[in-house]
Amino acid sequence: MEQLWAPWRLEYIVGSKVDGCIFCVFPKQDDDEKNRILYRGKHAFVIMNAFPYSNGHLLIPPYRHIADITELTDEESLEIMQLTQLSCKALESVCCPDAFNIGLNLGTAAGAGIADHLHLHIVPRWNGDTNFMPVFADIKVIPEALETTYKKLKLEFDRLAE
């Protein structure tokens, strides 16, 4: 049997859990690197997914704690789309994906892990990224540590925001 080593995942397994909604708690803290917040807008922000589908999996939630897309203000809707465009530019520069999956999972039945606070997903995709690992072993391989990806993306977000 082959072993798949991912020692950085232990932090997620045994680490302390956030009390409350991470999309409400993290922006109030002054530790964007620890919380993997890449960019702060006026109405929404960009944060890395702690349990990514692929390298560079980003989330864009509004600051307001809402679950219903019809409750977004025009300003929130516009900024979420603008941050989606900014995120795609940063990901294209840093990760060179072949494509993106972009969307919202609204509600638990739709697959939302945090159903009470809507957030848009941006998942970079590469030709051939669905290989034998998820098919045969039900394992998704993330080839780069989140901290490393964060540092690369943070530099690019800062550069693009100038």
- Catalytic positions, written as ranges: 119
Strand partners, 73: none
φ/ψ region of 21 (left if φ > 0, alpha if ψ in -120 to 50, else beta) reads beta
Look up tokens 């964060």; give the residue: 150
The CA distances from residue 152 to 2, 22, 103, 116, in Å, are: 30, 23, 24, 30
Terminal-residue alpha carbon distance, the chain: 50
As to burial, measured by CB atoms within 10 angstroms (0-12 exposed, 13-18 middle, 19+ buried), residue 60 is buried
CA pair distance 114, 106, nearest whole angstrom: 9
